[in-house]
Amino acid sequence: MIGEKPMDVSAALGLPPDQRLALLVRIGRAVTDEESNGIPDAEHALLVKALVSLLEEGHGEAHTRLEIGEVLGLLGDPRLSTPADADYWAHVDLPPQVGSAVQIGRFPVTNAEFQHFVDEGGYDDASLWTDAGWAWLKGVDDPWPLRAAAASSGPFVVPNQPVVGVTWYEASAYAAKHASRLPRFDERLWVVRGEERRPYPWGSPFGAGNANTREEVLRRPCAVGLFVNDCTPEGVRDLAGNVAEWNLDGVGDQRWIHPGAWDQPSMAAWAKARFLETPESRWAGLGFRLARD
């Protein structure tokens, strides 16, 4: 049973931000507890709306905000959409040397999105996979669905956090399912920098509290959009930190990765940072986002 009365959600809204944050997170934790009977739909909606407001307004220190994001993900994060939704995408004009324009996902692909791909049979549909990707899938004994089901993966599979631990092959198959692709490195670079040639989405300097990198000591991915300054003018978020991202292109059989992530230092967050990885590489700080022409 939850320890807070439903009316406590409404009462919390009149408190100062820090007190409001602590109380709403406590209520949210109680509501999502396995033994909870929940709260009425109207109070649930009010709780979710209040948590979104706290997140978007940037209240609380990083570890407290991490908890806001996790609770919101468990309650149902209304900020999330799917590639079929218009608001999933941001339109970015590109210079002639890069291309004409690109639509790019406002957030990295989340666990909720990727799980839906799994549930719809994405790992059984060879038409979505490259030949090399299908061969990898048939030869590996622990693709993402099995790794995500492990008890130790709990902090990494919160619905509104970026999916991590996916190979380039898995990311590309997900993109194919949605008639899209991974962004090329030059496209992604322009999205971050824009005409102002920003070194980070917010400009410069790097500063503290702007992105989920190793310096924040969260030791895990966080909900997408949690670091409100890690955002371009077009509304593309989490480009500097939270998770590293696969790119479409590379050199030979390897693919470019932008390395900015929760487990990497701030130097990896720089817009121009990149390194090559083999398509079967995967780790708990590596995800991806979608792009389309």
| pLDDT at position 3 over 50 | no
Q: Is residue 81 part of a domain?
A: no
- CA–CA distances in Å: residue 286 to residues 54, 81, 112, 242, 277: 27, 21, 16, 9, 11
Residue 208 lies in a domain: yes
The answer on 124 and 49 residing in a single domain is no
What pLDDT digit, counting tens, does each position of 84-104 carry? 999 999 999 999 998 889 999
The answer to whether residues 233 and 259 belong to one domain is: yes
Q: For the chain, how many structural domains are there in total?
A: 2
Q: Are residues 60 and 114 in the same domain?
A: no
Q: Which domain holds residue 94?
A: 86-292
Report pLDDT digits (tens) over 193-224: 999 999 999 999 999 999 999 999 999 999 99
Same domain, 143 and 214: yes
Q: Is the pLDDT of residue 2 over 60?
A: no
Residue 1 belongs to some domain of the structure = no
Q: How does pLDDT run across 230-265, given as a tens digit for each residue?
A: 999 999 999 999 999 999 999 999 999 999 999 999
Instruction: Say whether both 66 and 164 belong to one domain.
Output: no
- Answer yes or no: do 263 and 227 share one domain: yes
